[in-house]
Structure 1
Amino acid sequence: MTWNILHDKVKHHLEFIYADVDLPLTIDQLAVSLMKTIGIDDEVDIAQPQSHYNYWDEDDIIMITYGDSVIDGDERPLVTLNRFLHRYCKNTVNNVHILPFFPYSSDDGFSVIDYSSVNESLGTWEDIEAIAKDYGLMTDLVINHCSARSAWFDNFVKGEGTGSDFFFTADPADDLSMVTRPRVSPLLRETETAKGTKHVWCTFSHDQVDFDFRNPNVLLAFVDIIRLYIDKGAKLFRLDAVAFLWKIVGTNCINLPQTHEVIRLLRTLIEHVDPSIIIITETNIPNRENLTYFGNANEAHAIYNFSLPPLLVNTLVSGDCKYLKSWMMSMPPAQNGTAYFNFIASHDGIGLRPAEGLLSDEEISELVHTMQNFGGKISWRASDHGQQKPYEINITLFDALQGTIKGPDRWQIDRFICAHAIMLGMEGIPGLYIHSLLGTSNDYEKVANTGQNRSINRRRWELTELEALLDSPYSQHHKVLTRLSQLIRVRKAQPAFHPNATQFTLQLGNQIFGYWRQSLDRKQSVFCISNISDEEQSVLLSDINLIGTDNWIDLITRQEIALSSSFLQMKPYQTLWISNQDFE
């Protein structure tokens, strides 16, 4: 693609985004400025991305962590994290999502004060680059809002300098009744400025002030930030809360067409710098809306599979997979060049909005009640009718799976491993939260100290304490890391677990959840079968339909499957990966 052709493509994006906005410069000038800012001009070679090309394979595993999830005395936490990764995770994960590592004022990093520097309490850019040398670095682009303590917002209050016109304001008299909110706090923050009283839009909290992307200088500022992160080694960008980016008073202000076009524009700019850089959209919204962020393989490379965590937890605590099975059957396969980002635990809680329309209100209520019995907290949001509805369950995944709706039982670790075996075999790129790899339990002390429900799943481990636990064969932490590491090792060796390999849902009743994967070259098949109940189950081999001319083994245990038997006997929460080939 020549510079002129790319320039015209960028202009096309901009003409759509700013169709109803009076700009202080021409579309042509803005296109040139954006291309120069990202590092594209007519004197350098322009990268040529391949259409519908998968820049990932079965070897890709992403670990999600805070920069200070593991600390060691006065050592910079990012240095400690790097040491921890090399000792315990080097053969397990090859990509690391370090949650916002910038100076911040609240929300554990997602209220950014300065996008261009590393929080000095974590380390330096050199520490980030050291991790990026050995792992694919995934970084957050907190693009919807920034901290009310940022220099940009200070300039907004002063009415001068960069940032003075960066923030979205509205009139309290406007009809804002349709606005979709993930929080129950007031939407507008009254702020006294040099230009009078302003009411600043705050989708999340009054410390998180929303940008106004109608101002092209905001877009230019973020393209400059993207270029910085690329230079520091970023290979994956997580667009945080991007669904709320564009606002139009009188609408619901979520998933607006301009938001999608901004993502497509960023994709165009980034992939012509480095085609291998991946964009992942974080859109904690109902499933059907979430799928739209793939575009036509020209928007997000990957989308968070937000419906998976609540559906899978519900499956394992209820002992019934009908909802999970129905959802999986409805999910369109991701076309080449796109992939699902699968996760079942993260730094946030278990979101319930993505379960809307998939689980009934009664099912959600029972799930919430069960999680509360297991020590979980509930975060709320305001519904369209002003009522409070559960928005998120705050609990570690390990404690969420300590039992069933009947109460805690002895199957906690087996149930926990079963959840990951289901997720690791599915179509998509797996993401594992560090506290899942470590089998971390609820941190009630941190909740008490911060007053924030989400702190329950954000423990900060002392390295010496953690190492002692991980090195003890009797601890839950050792057992979990050992078993998960083994599962991941097996998964990474199998072509049928390529994120875009064929997947079909199996019909094996409500206590057995199963699906079939086939490698892209059609040479390897894997039948992934899990007993999601607390009782032994029998599976008829005729229901799986294994080809009699092939030899079949369970990849996890290495045991052969005797086709002469009429059924498989499965223990509670046991998973089988039955394949005609073993590539490990």
Structure 2
Amino acid sequence: MTANWNTLHEKVSHHLQAIYADVQLDRPVGELATQLMKTMRLHEDNDIVSPQSHSNYWDEEDIIMITYGDSVMDGHEKPLFTLNRFLQTYCKNTINKVHILPFFPYSSDDGFSVIDYSSVNESLGEWSDVTRLAEDYGLMFDLVVNHCSARSAWFENFIKGEGPGSDFFFTASPDDDLSQVTRPRVSPLLRETQTNDGTKYVWCTFSHDQVDFDFTNPNVVLAFMEIIRLYIDKGAKIFRLDAVAFLWKIVGTSCINLDQTHEVIRLMRTLIEHVDPGIIIITETNIPNRENLTYFGNANEAHAIYNFSLPPLLVNTLVTGDCRYLKSWMMSMPPAQNGTTYFNFIASHDGIGLRPAEGLLDDEEISTLVHTMQNFGGKISWRASAHGQQKPYEINITLFDALQGTTAGPDRWQVDRFICAHAIMLGMEGIPGVYIHSLLGTSNDYEKVANTGQNRSINRKRWDLSELEALLDSPFSQHHKVLTRMSQLIRIRKAQPAFHPNATQFTLQLGNQLFGYWRQSLDRKQSLFCIANITCEEQSVLLTDINLIGTDHWIDLITREEIDGDSGYLQLKPYQTVWISNQDPQ
């Protein structure tokens, strides 16, 4: 409707005025707003959806699986087709959403150095394979928004000085004061590049094959809105904004989390939600916890933020047998208001990030954690600190191997400890994300590290489908055991209203060897106590400490055992988790 169009146009113009307040534009803001709305096909003569603020477009049944398009391969067909077959066979009634990591043509970083945003990597399949997956699963697409490949047509045009992309990239001078710039890598920030217009120094936050965009050019925003519209047409229901914290650069600043970055996200949110209010934006901001929380905005930026502090804190908890740091962090986390939620994960295609643990774990704790992971076969990735020192940035290891033991060394509790970690994560406030290699209990892939020379390859195994099926069908394999127990946990979780991502959550005080929290459904009918023994010794729970209401009937949803609140104590085996509920959906 025209009235809605005018209102939206005014809102988009307001975003643009805030973004480009200090930039001399080559066109009026109103004209740019019209171009953006036209790109998103938000026309005056069409009905424009009015999104409802603070609406939750998710519930307890949502589980996102994180996977590469070729994590499972059959030599006789395209990997995206094989992935679909795998999901239909082994993830029935568990997974309903899938994050397919970048499936576009790329030159490095396993997909995050995109050559062409508009096509599917031929080695994986084609758009029809993606849209087929979208028929059964809500798909998360990566929007690699900070940088693209140095082999892209856009960057080639930058070198030539003509054509689309010729003015898309951020440059600086080696003489500029870049001392405050926050770096996630130790490679030189500026890439010396010979162009038809002379030598230029291109900004490269991550690597010299990943050249950063210049969002002060509004044509870059227009190009990305075209990409977003294409992805919506191809079935995207969730957008993951990769490395978005680095999007806006101002020489002389930290060039991270700048106000303009937040405003660009708000602009994207406004345009996307007027196309389809049910599409979710998740920001991938691997930064300290306090900074990460700012990406919720006032429920007008990201719908969800990655809970990056959870993986290092939970792994630390389980290898030390002490939950004090995890508990303190959880108590400090603000409840996500309606219309926003956390995206919980404990393993992904990347490693276990340590920056989000800064201020939560002290240097000695981080050092012990790093040393323990190295003993378990893990690799360490480093970054440069503000003083030029190298600091551990990320632990590269599969979660299954990260939990093979404690600080005392490997032990016999690997599978139980691994399942305990997921039982804690699956019950927490937020939407759970499960990495395919966690679902499969995959171990460190040293051969791939040797082949690629990249530490992160340790956690990016490509399974041959026939080999994997044989292991999953063997009741004695770690892969069968893990998939069976993980699937059981997920199915139970999906049936509990108290596990709605926005259901009430309180942290329980049960000492440092037991980690627990209480969840209550939005209608207040279901109470659920999640309690985990995070040690390799049996622990007792004093039932009066968790205050089970005597008039209710209580049951552990995992073991199916009834819990008598008057019985005094509940004994928990090493790494056992109980989900004690006053309702039994079964």
Q: Which residue pairs with 1:482 in the alignment?
A: 484
| CA displacement at 1:74 relative to structure 2 | 3.1
Letter in 1 for 2:40: I
2:278 pairs with 1:282:
no
Which of 204, 208, 229 pairs up with 2:231? Answer: 229
Maintained 8 Å contact 2:549/2:565: no
TM-score (normalizing by structure 2)? 0.99
Which of 262, 269, 272 pairs up with 1:270? Answer: 272
Letter in 1 for 2:328: S
CA distance in 2 between counterparts of 1:138 and 1:39 reads 21
Maintained 8 Å contact 2:531/2:578: yes
CA distance in 2 between counterparts of 1:408 and 1:229 reads 45
CA distance in 1 between counterparts of 2:83 and 2:565 reads 47
Q: Which residue pairs with 1:207 in the alignment?
A: 209
CA distance in 2 between counterparts of 1:220 and 1:564 reads 64
Letter in 2 for 1:254: I
Maintained 8 Å contact 2:528/2:581: yes
Maintained 8 Å contact 2:60/2:497: yes
CA distance in 2 between counterparts of 1:567 and 1:27 reads 67
Letter in 2 for 1:81: L
Q: Within 5 A, what are the aligned runs for 1:557-576?
A: 557-576=559-578
> How many residue pairs are counted as aligned between the two chains?
584
Q: Within 5 A, what are the aligned runs for 1:36-185?
A: 36-185=38-187
CA distance in 2 between counterparts of 1:275 and 1:471 reads 42
Letter in 2 for 1:404: T
Which of 8, 11, 32 pairs up with 1:9? Answer: 11
Q: Which residue pairs with 1:464 in the alignment?
A: 466
CA distance in 1 between counterparts of 2:199 and 2:24 reads 24
CA distance in 1 between counterparts of 2:19 and 2:293 reads 21
CA distance in 1 between counterparts of 2:301 and 2:92 reads 31
CA distance in 2 between counterparts of 1:444 and 1:119 reads 26
CA distance in 2 between counterparts of 1:409 and 1:49 reads 52
CA distance in 2 between counterparts of 1:574 and 1:548 reads 24
Which of 571, 580, 583 pairs up with 1:581? Answer: 583
CA distance in 2 between counterparts of 1:343 and 1:46 reads 35
Q: Within 5 A, what are the aligned runs for 1:386-401?
A: 386-401=388-403
Letter in 2 for 1:349: G
Q: Which residue pairs with 1:403 in the alignment?
A: 405
TM-score (normalizing by structure 1)? 1.00
Maintained 8 Å contact 2:60/2:493: yes
CA distance in 1 between counterparts of 2:121 and 2:87 reads 20
Offset from partner CA, 1:476-534 (integer Å, 9 cap, x none): 00000000000000000000000000000000000000000000000000000000000
2:424 pairs with 1:422:
yes
Maintained 8 Å contact 2:147/2:212: yes
Offset from partner CA, 1:307-362 (integer Å, 9 cap, x none): 00000000000000000000000000000000000000000000000000000000
SS at match of 2:562: coil
Letter in 1 for 2:19: I
CA distance in 2 between counterparts of 1:488 and 1:73 reads 30
SS at match of 2:292: helix
Q: Which residue pairs with 1:33 in the alignment?
A: 35
Letter in 1 for 2:78: R
| CA displacement at 1:564 relative to structure 2 | 2.9
SS at match of 2:519: strand
Letter in 1 for 2:277: P
CA distance in 1 between counterparts of 2:97 and 2:438 reads 16
Offset from partner CA, 1:371-428 (integer Å, 9 cap, x none): 0000000000000100000000000000000000000000000000000000000000
| CA displacement at 1:43 relative to structure 2 | 1.0
Letter in 2 for 1:260: H
SS at match of 1:272: helix
Q: Which residue pairs with 2:441 in the alignment?
A: 439
Q: Which residue pairs with 2:552 in the alignment?
A: 550
2:199 pairs with 1:197:
yes
| CA displacement at 1:563 relative to structure 2 | 2.3
| CA displacement at 1:77 relative to structure 2 | 0.4
| CA displacement at 1:107 relative to structure 2 | 0.1
| CA displacement at 1:90 relative to structure 2 | 2.1
CA distance in 2 between counterparts of 1:48 and 1:7 reads 13
Letter in 2 for 1:40: L
Letter in 2 for 1:146: C
CA distance in 2 between counterparts of 1:287 and 1:59 reads 27
Task: Give the unaligned 5+ runs of structure 1.
Answer: none
CA distance in 2 between counterparts of 1:400 and 1:40 reads 48
| CA displacement at 1:39 relative to structure 2 | 1.1
SS at match of 1:260: helix
Task: Out of 126-135 and 42-51, give the one that drifted further.
Answer: 42-51
